[in-house]
Amino acid sequence: MWMNTQIVALDTNINIYYSPWLSRGADNAVFMAEILKDTFSGNPLEITVYTKNAEDEGSGATAVATLSSLTGGFVEANVTGLKELFRFGMQFKAGAAGQGAEFRILPPTWYDTAV
């Protein structure tokens, strides 16, 4: 879905980078990412899922989940009740300029709630 992205810190401030807005495939999804390399000293890369409707103004959105750690460098989140659009926010705080992370966000598993 979003393959082999590398983020490098230019300073030691808290930084957030956002993906483009994407259309959802269903009401619910399981999102997964693989952290290939993370050199942020003591402050791991955090990936959050945001959602909003198409008519909502601006970039404001609701954070619905933060991907949490699994084994082997994978993180995931099971998100229910997605609105029309979603995107990812990658937040990090480097201990020194030049630290960074390389990751890939895998295609989500979409599903509807059974009635």
Average pLDDT over residues 5-22: 91
Q: Is 115 a member of any domain?
A: no
Q: Specify the DSSP class assigned to residue 114.
A: P
The 10s digit of each residue's pLDDT in 67-76 is: 998 878 899 9
pTM above 0.75, yes or no: yes
Q: Is 41 a member of any domain?
A: yes
Number of domains in the chain: 1
Domain holding 7, by residue range, is 2-109
Look up the CATH number of the domain holding residue 62.
2.60.120.200
Long-range pairs of 72-75 with CB within 8 A, sequence gap ≥ 24: 73/34, 73/35, 73/36, 74/32, 74/33, 74/34, 74/35, 75/32, 75/33, 75/34, 75/35, 75/47
The 10s digit of each residue's pLDDT in 16-66 is: 999 999 999 999 999 999 999 999 886 788 999 999 999 998 876 789 999
Question: Is residue 101 a contact partner of residue 34, using CB atoms and an 8 Å limit?
Answer: no
Q: Is 87 a member of any domain?
A: yes
Q: DSSP of 25-78, one letter per residue? A: SSSEEEEEEEEEEE--SS---EEEEEEE-TTS-SS--EEEEE-EE-GGGEEEEE
Q: Is 114 a member of any domain?
A: no
User: From CA 41, how far away is CA 85, in angstroms rounded?
Assistant: 33
